[in-house]
Amino acid sequence: MTARVAPGIDWNDAFDNSGHVPGAEALLAAMSDAAAAFRAAHPPQVLAYGPGPRQKLDLFHPDGPAHGLVTFIHGGYWRSCDRADFSHLAQGALARGWMVALPSYTLAPEAGIGRIGQEIAAAIACAAERTGGPIRIAGHSAGGHLALRMACAEGPLARALRPRVARILGISGIYDLRPLLLTEMNDTLQLTPDGAVAESPALTHGLPVPVTLWTGAAERPEFLRQARLMAEAWPDCTDHYAPGQHHFSVIDGLADPDHPLTEALLT
């Protein structure tokens, strides 16, 4: 359900990250190259968490026993990208002794956002069988939304796993989906008004899990608004705005074991 006219706000432009970051295509290509180089140096274990062609995850094993499980969920507005585009972001947590899972998921329009959340929950359950200890979940952009859905009281994460979740890290995420109803991308996402409310973390109750929202200070205004809204919605939720960082640079720190972003995820 798409409305073409939104008085006062061009919602297509509000979510157009690539159009407002100079050299976005080159930045994304460089990210893909870094991911490929990391995968070549650290071949992951590939696991199927379901029967679908994209229901697979890469599992990176640390040297020695793992402290626990980190899962990183990629973005792409639920309709593009793949886990292999972000493999290098496992490097920071892996170097600090964590097992790291990067799942792919069925993309819209083949899957709606609710089903994608269920797939992510299944992927985390699959990876969690491979190690004990705490679970930490991070996601970027649409992946940030999916990470926060794992901390919703009525979310899809298995109840047996919830006590193991030690932290959620949403990186420049989307937490109120209602504005997407007013974008052209909803022709692909196929959100309904009821579905947008049901799948919005900011409009529901959270589990007693610490949540950190890490947003680039140079993001589009809508992403800054989304972070502030989410920070006010849940009591155990803190927001941080990384100076000078835009939508594509804000996640770079996960590749560095000593970066404050990695620290925010692992402490």
Q: Say what angle helices 113-128 and 142-149 make with each other, to 10 degrees.
A: 70
> Is the distance from CB of 121 to CB of 173 less than 8 angstroms?
no
Quick: pLDDT tens for 188-200.
Answer: 999 999 999 999 9
* Distance between CA atoms of residues 157 and 43, nearest Å: 28
Residue 8: predicted pLDDT: 81
Rounded CA separation 136/222 (Å) = 26
- Bond preceding residue 221 cis, omega within 30 of 0: no
The tens place of each residue's pLDDT in the chain, 267 residues long, gives 444 444 689 999 999 999 999 999 999 999 999 999 999 999 999 999 999 999 999 999 999 999 999 999 999 999 999 999 999 999 999 999 999 999 999 999 999 999 999 999 999 999 999 999 999 999 999 999 999 999 999 999 999 999 999 999 999 999 999 999 999 999 999 999 999 999 999 999 999 999 999 999 999 999 999 999 999 999 999 999 999 999 999 999 999 999 999 999 999
Pair 97, 64: CB distance under 8 Å: yes
**Structural domain spans, the chain:** 11-266
d(CA 15, CA 77): 9
Tell the CATH superfamily of the 11-266 domain.
Answer: Alpha/Beta hydrolase fold, catalytic domain (3.40.50.1820)
Residues facing 73 on adjacent strands: 139
Q: CB under 8 Å to 10, separation ≥6 — which residues? A: none
Of 143, 69, 158, the C-alpha closest to 59 is 69
Query: What's the per-residue H, E or C state across 197-226?
Result: HHCCHHHCCECCCCEEEEEECCCCHHHHHH
- Please tell me the predicted confidence (pLDDT) of residue 3: 45
